[in-house]
Amino acid sequence: MGEFELIRRYFLPLAGRQESGSLILGPGDDCAIQRIPAGRDLVFSVDALVEGVHFPRNYRPDYLGWRALAAAASDLAAMGADPECFTLALTLPAVDEQWLEDFSMGLRKASEAFGLALAGGDTTSGPLTLSLQVHGTVEQGAGIRRSGARPGDLIAVSGTLGDAGAALDYLSEPAPSADMLAVLERYHHPWPRLDLAGAIRQYATAAVDISDGLLADLGHILSASGVGAQIESARMPLSPALVRLKGEKALDCALRSGDDYELCLCFSRENWERAPESLKRQLTVIGFVEAEPGLYLDGVDCGLEAVPAGFDHFRSES
């Protein structure tokens, strides 16, 4: 199968939303065309994923399609952006039609779930690698940055933390228990918190998506904002499945493991009081921002210099 037939068969169907939203010309020409409405900013991000580094070797292709787009879309959620479209560059070691069918199915389901149309892309041969660029839009000047946290702000997180990181221990489990299946689902099918984008634009002062672990990603906010934080372990939102599986180690999963794709947010106390209960019910306040730099857990200095800055791209997983 040639490159153009591969694209026509497996990826053109993902462009079903073209000529709706801001995407007015999708795949099939030299470039895509996106028209940004007056009064809105373009928000975009690029993610690269390499087999054996960002996902296990021989990982199910339908899971990979979903996870790849979910991870990229999570960056849009952190900025408070509305999703529009994405591009995909796919490097394949060989043309495997069953693999492509399954991968494109997972990607299509994610595309439909997250409201992202395929705008274009490229394919080539080589080690299995994906590069996705996601585009969103936000009201002019309304994008939420990491640098907006101020002393006195409350720190909150969405959902529960640590499940996806714990799931790595069970990827090869031949007969997973119900609790294992629950955390595995969080790893295979993460949901970027695009549902919160509108609310956080209105109320949050800073945001980051939790892709590398809470401590590392909260550290990005603190560094960008020039502030410190106090957080409490007793407030960490942990799923019952994680607690049953990991016991005392559940907290460490929540603090240090990645791939949750939840949001870590800061709110001024005034904005938190004004925020609707429908938003607060989806968030857990875990601490507060303070002027003195540093990150403290239960009053103990975590040592930001000792907290990993993010995923170590030179440490392979198999």
pTM: 0.91
CATH number of the domain that residue 92 is part of: 3.30.1330.10
Whether residues 108 and 195 fall in one domain: no
Look at residue 104 and tell me if it is in a domain. Answer: yes
The mean pLDDT of 268-286, rounded to a whole number, is 97
User: Binding site membership: which residues?
Assistant: 30, 45, 47, 54, 75, 121-122, 146, 209, 211-212, 259, 311
Asked which of 107, 139, 171 is the last residue of a domain, the reply is 139
Q: Which domain holds residue 71?
A: 3-139
The pLDDT score that the predictor gives to residue 1 is 64
In a domain, 112, yes or no: yes
Binding residues for Mg(2+): 30, 45, 47, 75, 122, 209, 212
Going by the annotation, the residues of the binding site for ATP are 121-122, 146, 211
User: So what's the pLDDT on residue 282?
Assistant: 97
pLDDT tens digits, 220-269: 999 999 999 999 999 999 999 999 999 999 999 999 999 999 999 999 99
Total structural domains in the chain? 2
- Asked if residues 291 and 152 have their Cβ atoms less than 8 Å apart, the reply is no
- What are the tens digits of pLDDT across the range 105-162? 999 999 999 999 999 988 889 999 999 999 999 999 999 999 999 999 999 999 999 9
Same domain, yes or no, for 190 and 269?
Answer: yes
Binding residues for substrate: 54, 259, 311
CB 207 within 8 A of CB 265: yes
